[in-house]
Structure 1
Amino acid sequence: MTWTVDEQLALTATQAVAAIQSGRLSAADYVATLLARAAALASLNALTTLDLDGALAAARRIDALPAAEKARLPLAGLAVVVKDNINTAGLQTSAGTPALEGFVPDTNAPSVQRLIDAGAIVLGKANMHELAFGITSTNFATHAGPVRNPYDPTLIPGGSSGGTAAAIAARIAPAGLGTDTGGSTRIPAALTGTAGFRPSVGNGGAERRYHDPGAVVPISHTRDTVGPMARTVADIALLDGVITGAGALPAITLRGLRIGLPAPLWEGLERQVADVTKAALKTLEAAGVVLVPVAMNELDELNGMVGGPIAIHEARDDVLAWLVANDAPVKTVVEMAARIASPDVRAIYDGVLDDILGERYEAALNYWRPRLQRYMAATFADERLDALLFPTTRLAAVPIDDVNGSSTVSIDGSEPIDTMDAFLRNTDPASTSGIPGLSLPAGMTASGLPVGLELDGPLGEDRRLLAIGVAFEQLLGALPAPSI
């Protein structure tokens, strides 16, 4: 069978694997097509590194396998991109910051290694908000640059995993890995018409679904996690299954499914986001989904006491531990911070180095966070909810700020508010409480910008949450590709 370029670019991860496993598509031809796409769309700044020779060599090894062996690889020939703060052997891991430019780890992060062992091929490393401390992916480092949204290159793609999301939306790769501390897989997914997943973290240990200790340039060991990103939830479920060894998704019946609508996360929305997401609710309700309004009056207060103190306090020690464990080219956080290129990140690191929220850390971690976790668990139990549902972000993509990287935004003419706070508001509670969160496309605004819906589920119910997401995306449908 001869595949056109457009046919190859349109393949989802699941479809690409099936075509390569069956021998209908050459992995080498497929990878060559995607590498050419990446080169043609270099102006998006989606990638910081493109592994031309390595990716093609890996694809040829897949093609050379006996048919039976190829068919047994769950990700045979699947091309992926990996966020530039996740360790990759033989490829730069810079976290988008000048002090780490050109640094190459000795080993892959465990999540990356599991994908490769299953037959996946790493095309390259994805650009990001510098050091993952932001939600725009407007990076001022000369080797990175601002990531641009494929639906409108003058707009942000979200962050901090903006390069992974932009590459997936632009059909450079069908799937990849990001990281998520406060919303960094889900926010860019929402703004680029893709899907992004934050797996369960809980209190760490056995509750943590993905285990990549010391293999990701960190912000916070309490909050950080690797997370898969793709164009469909079904593809995310495929990658999640490989990383965790989980089996098939459970069966889901939409009729009678109880989905909570948390009131605080439906307030203050941009009109165009409200229009798209409320139309999606009508589609779900028509299919028999039971939508349950839940007040959650304490959510904002509880969450506000947790997130900032933990992230700002833990960053200094956690980054230092990564620098030492990985024998990085800089040995101290002060030395690394001195070379930060992005104004907004430099300002945050001033607070990290001064430990400006240190006095609030112990209470945030040991008092407020357990209260928030109990509150979330009680909401699911008391209301008999299968998941919570709300707009992933309060507003659609906004223009790139090439002066500050992230400053303020106005929602429908409101008083300007901090950009990071505006985009993090809805994604942050899952992050701070450690429960799983999934963003999937809800639809497009009248001006052609993607809008996302987020599903949050009880701790440890990741596969059931993904199954609900698959059922919802089958109802809501896929978004049209960007016209680039």
Structure 2
Amino acid sequence: MSEPTTRQPITETGPTAGADTRSEPEVTSALERAEETAHLGGFITLDRDAGARPPGGPGPLSGMTIAVKDNIHVGGLPNTAGTPALRDFVPASDAPAVRRLRDAGAVILGKANMHELAFGITSNNHAFGPVRNPYDPSRFAGGSSGGVAALIAAGVVHAGIGTDTGGSVRIPAAVTGTCALRPTVGRYPGEGVTPLSSTRDTIGPMARRVADLIRLDGVLSGDDIPVAARPPRSIRLGVPTGHFTEQLQDDVAALWEAALHSLSAVGVTLVPVDVTSFVEREYETGMAIVLYETRVELSAYLAQYRPETDLAGLAAGIAGPDVQGIFENCLLDGAPGLVAEEVYRECLAHRQRLRAAYAETFTAHSLDGLTFPTTPATALDLATCDQGMVLCGEPADTFSTFIRNTGPASVIGAPGLSIPMGVAPNGLPAGLEIDGPAGADRELLALGLTLEATCG
């Protein structure tokens, strides 16, 4: 596995004389912890001079150490997106989301490892080494934001930001026992991010506890509406029948049943809900949108930031066979699986129908949220995860299985929150997801505070 690279301070002259160094001891401790846990592969670039850089100023994130997924620009640090062709690409400036974190007092410790080009859920990166799960280093840490999740779970950083197209902050949070929010699409600024799909991509905060997600969301969105835990008896949660809650690994099923019992015991109203209306053709619709938009938007991104590299040049250097296959079969000129524009347009129209059905489900049942296991299984063995898995005694595809429950909200553009559901009998954590109506992000976080206290 490649060792994390190091970079000098972003400022050419070093830290300003007399700068506020209030965070130096904590940053020093974080850097030491990063060295101790280097075997987990959490960082691609570790900024060992992070504590010497002048802070952005006191604020709601003052002193919070942050890991940034390596597809979100941090000025002066490489933005590899986990792929060899971008290894030497160094953005000149921060993405707006990163600038908001700095201005609120956060300290960026470095760039976190990820699934190559964010096209997968294992973070078994063939260019920079796999991300390993702190609970069991032989297991994956989820993806595509696996590095951020592993660094939080290992106690290296307080929090971080990843990106989520179909589950990429929530899946790693679930399998590492941490928390993550996929916000309503458009809630945070999305510039300065290596793209897949503008319809589905969003930056998402990740942390140990929901309270930290609330602070991060407030900074990233500018929404400072106070958030407090809801009284359990005031909450109505939809419990999907079928799609989300059947075909679960035994260990996850045991935690799920325990969570339902705990929620009912404290007075949360649980309502069985038929979700057929908004999961019909969801996976096929969402994938077609991503594949069409990636070809267009990633090409435009390269033209803007890396003009010497086109889509074919990027693909030529891809290290992971799974990602290479996506480009060869679905993205490059002449690929047999290219998505035609008319198919893309029909999928966008179907997405609107799914959105309407989703909203109607909430209205019809007077729901505050939907809840279900974030993933149908706990973390898989890194040595075999790329070859598939077995679920309920049947062979299954790893990617489509792990994205099954996180996909619908991401296609619809609604917010989804994953919190720890506990540690399963096999010694690995699993996550509990709560999805909310579009735009109800702060209300969803309030539900998260209540459920975290009940199920965490």
TM (normalized to structure 2)? 0.91
Name the structure 2 match of 1:297. 276
The answer to whether the aligner puts 1:394 opposite 2:376 as a matched pair is yes
After the TM superposition, which residues 190-229 of structure 1 pair with which residues of structure 2 at under 5 Å, given as runs?
190-201=174-185, 208-213=186-191, 215-229=192-206
The answer to whether the aligner puts 1:240 opposite 2:217 as a matched pair is yes
The answer to whether the aligner puts 1:374 opposite 2:356 as a matched pair is yes
Name the structure 2 match of 1:6. none
Q: Is 1:196–1:229's contact at 8 Å kept on the other side of the alignment?
A: yes
Name the structure 2 match of 1:360. 343
Aligned partner of residue 124 in structure 1, secondary structure: strand
Identity of aligned residues (%): 49
Q: Is 1:302–1:371's contact at 8 Å kept on the other side of the alignment?
A: no
Counterpart-to-counterpart distance in 2, 1:406 and 1:228: 27
- Residue 26 (structure 1) shift: 4.7
Aligned partner of residue 306 in structure 1, secondary structure: helix
Gaps of 5+ in 2: 1-19
Counterpart-to-counterpart distance in 2, 1:306 and 1:233: 31
Name the structure 2 match of 1:52. 48
Aligned partner of residue 472 in structure 1, secondary structure: helix
Which of 115, 118, 125 is matched with 1:132 structurally?
A: 118
After the TM superposition, which residues 67-82 of structure 1 pair with which residues of structure 2 at under 5 Å, given as runs?
70=58, 73-82=59-68
For 2:369, the aligned partner's letter is A
For 2:47, the aligned partner's letter is D
- Residue 306 (structure 1) shift: 1.4
Counterpart-to-counterpart distance in 2, 1:40 and 1:135: 25
- Residue 158 (structure 1) shift: 0.5
- Residue 301 (structure 1) shift: 1.9
- Residue 330 (structure 1) shift: 3.8
Distance 1:345 1:305, change over 3 A: closer
Counterpart-to-counterpart distance in 1, 2:316 and 2:179: 35
Q: Kindly provide the CA deviation profile for residues 388-433 of structure 1, in whole angstroms up to 9, marking residues without a partner as x.
A: 000000000010147xx6231101322x111100000000001000
Runs of 4+ in 1 over 4 A off after TM superposition: none
Counterpart-to-counterpart distance in 1, 2:293 and 2:204: 20
For 2:346, the aligned partner's letter is A
Name the structure 2 match of 1:188. 172
The answer to whether the aligner puts 1:459 opposite 2:455 as a matched pair is no
Aligned partner of residue 168 in structure 1, secondary structure: helix
- Residue 251 (structure 1) shift: 5.5
How many residues are treated as equivalent by the alignment?
430
Q: Kindly provide the CA deviation profile for residues 295-349 of structure 1, in whole angstroms up to 9, marking residues without a partner as x.
A: 12234324134111001111111111111222x2643111101110000010011
Distance 1:314 1:401, change over 3 A: farther
Name the structure 1 match of 2:131. 147
The answer to whether the aligner puts 1:271 opposite 2:250 as a matched pair is yes
Aligned partner of residue 90 in structure 1, secondary structure: coil
Q: Greater strand share, 1 or 2? A: 2
Which of 134, 158, 164 is matched with 1:174 structurally?
A: 158
After the TM superposition, which residues 320-359 of structure 1 pair with which residues of structure 2 at under 5 Å, given as runs?
320-326=299-305, 328=306, 330-350=308-328, 351-353=330-332, 354=335, 356-358=338-340
Aligned partner of residue 223 in structure 1, secondary structure: coil
- Residue 471 (structure 1) shift: 1.3
The answer to whether the aligner puts 1:412 opposite 2:396 as a matched pair is no
Name the structure 2 match of 1:481. none
Counterpart-to-counterpart distance in 1, 2:126 and 2:452: 35
Gaps of 5+ in 1: 1-22, 202-207, 478-484
After the TM superposition, which residues 2-151 of structure 1 pair with which residues of structure 2 at under 5 Å, given as runs?
26-53=22-49, 55-58=50-53, 61-62=54-55, 70=58, 73-141=59-127, 144-151=128-135
Distance 1:156 1:285, change over 3 A: same
For 2:271, the aligned partner's letter is V
CA RMSD in angstroms comes to: 1.6
Q: Is 1:149–1:155's contact at 8 Å kept on the other side of the alignment?
A: yes
Name the structure 2 match of 1:205. none
For 2:389, the aligned partner's letter is V
Counterpart-to-counterpart distance in 2, 1:236 and 1:82: 15
